[in-house]
Amino acid sequence: MTTFSLATAGIAFVIALAIGKPLLNYLRARQIGKAISDEGPDSHHVKAGTPTMGGLMIFATVAILTLATNVVGRESILLPLVGIVVLGTVGLLDDMGTLQGRSQFALSWRIKVVLLFAFALGAALVLFYALDTESINIPWSGQHALGPIYIPIAVVVILATTTSVAITDGMDALAGGTLAIAFAAYGVIAVGQEQDFLVRFAFTTVGATLGFLWYNAHPAQIFMGDTGALALGGTLGVLALMTGHWLLLPVIGIVFVLEAASDIIQIGYFKLTGGKRVFRMAPIHNHFELLGWSEPQVVTRAWLLGIAGAILGVAMALQV
């Protein structure tokens, strides 16, 4: 069973590749390209007009394979599946407001926050009441039940992961690569727990994300957009909660933590000091680029940091 679960990564990769080309052609034909903010590095302005909403190929692939191979007899997997589709749709609507050269419907930040909170709360209630997932696994200490306090904790975990991944999505292959690493780590953790349905879902997502990265490699032909970042960020949080190893998310997702923390520090310090900055530009991947690192250098080093965090996180999970 686990062998087939791992093989779904390869199947998902092929499906995503097959979906990617016609999707890319469709977006190009309709000039659905992303507008680049003037607040970003000058080097990013050449990316204006690059097709966005590439996350569509990821969550379409995950939905197809999951419905075909991973739902019957394991209804709990509907939670991350619904998450990747619902949050992907929210991201798609949000991406509509970032298109170049056209005025489109876009979600206001208030509506976006409400929708993300509604999903996080709904997922937390399902985890607690329907799936009886209310525990925390602590390395060298074991598993501990939390009771009703688990619900607000789960909401925070999902929202924090979703937001952090969205912040990370700012360079070619940065978010996609680090997400693939994180999902693979939780897939390995699920193998150790003999949760084959989670293994299959995790590695389906890894394969789909790798298929997307084929087109997102520098210089990117297509961007993930919030269509992918919100879908994968929220689903990663749900997956971590379903394994009970959500405490390890800051280790396995160390890159997401650093990206979000740099944004928070920059904004807070700017307000406290009346305009001074800690970083040349936040989030931190822009800071390194302005220091002289090339975009591929920043992304490759982030991947290496993500791999190190994933290895450490899996090692710690084995100590429960």
For the chain, the domains span: 2-249
- The amino acid occupying position 217 is A
Whether the per-residue pLDDT at 21 is higher than 70: the answer is: yes
> Mean pLDDT lowest for which of 67-76, 180-189, 281-290?
67-76
CB 222 within 8 A of CB 216: yes
Please tell me the predicted confidence (pLDDT) of residue 204. 97
**What are 199-218's pLDDT values in tens digits?**
999 999 999 999 999 999 99
Alpha carbon distance 176, 277 (integer Å):
28
Please tell me the predicted confidence (pLDDT) of residue 166. 96
Cβ-in-10-Å burial (0-12, 13-18, 19+) of 153 comes to: middle
Alpha carbon distance 144, 305 (integer Å):
30
Mean pLDDT of the region 169-194: 96
Model confidence band, residue 236 (pLDDT cutoffs 50, 70, 90): very high
Whether the per-residue pLDDT at 47 is higher than 90: the answer is: no
CA atoms 60, 64, 67, 70: torsion sign = negative
Mean pLDDT, the chain, rounded, equals 92
Question: C-alpha angle 191/139/79, rounded to 5°?
Answer: 45
Global pTM value: 0.95
Alpha carbon distance 192, 198 (integer Å):
11
Q: How many Cβ atoms are within 10 Å of 100's Cβ, its own excluded?
A: 14
Q: Residue 224: name the closest of 52, 23, 35, 24 by CA.
A: 52
Please tell me the predicted confidence (pLDDT) of residue 104. 58
- DSSP of the chain, one letter per residue? -HHHHHHHHHHHHHHHHHHHHHHHHHHHHTT-BBPPPTTS-GGGGGGTT-B--THHHHHHHHHHHHHHHS-TT-GGGHHHHHHHHHHHHHHHHHHGGGBTTS------HHHHHHHHHHHHHHHHHIIIIIS---EEEETTTEEEE-GGGHHHHHHHHHHHHHHHHHHH--STTHHHHHHHHHHHHHHHHHHHTT-HHHHHHHHHHHHHHHHHHHHHSSSPSS--HHHHHHHHHHHHHHHHHHHT-GGGHHHHTHHHHHHHHHHHHHHHHHHHHTS--SSSSSSHHHHHHHTT--HHHHHHHHHHHHHHHHHHHHHHHTT-
Mean pLDDT of the region 146-154: 97
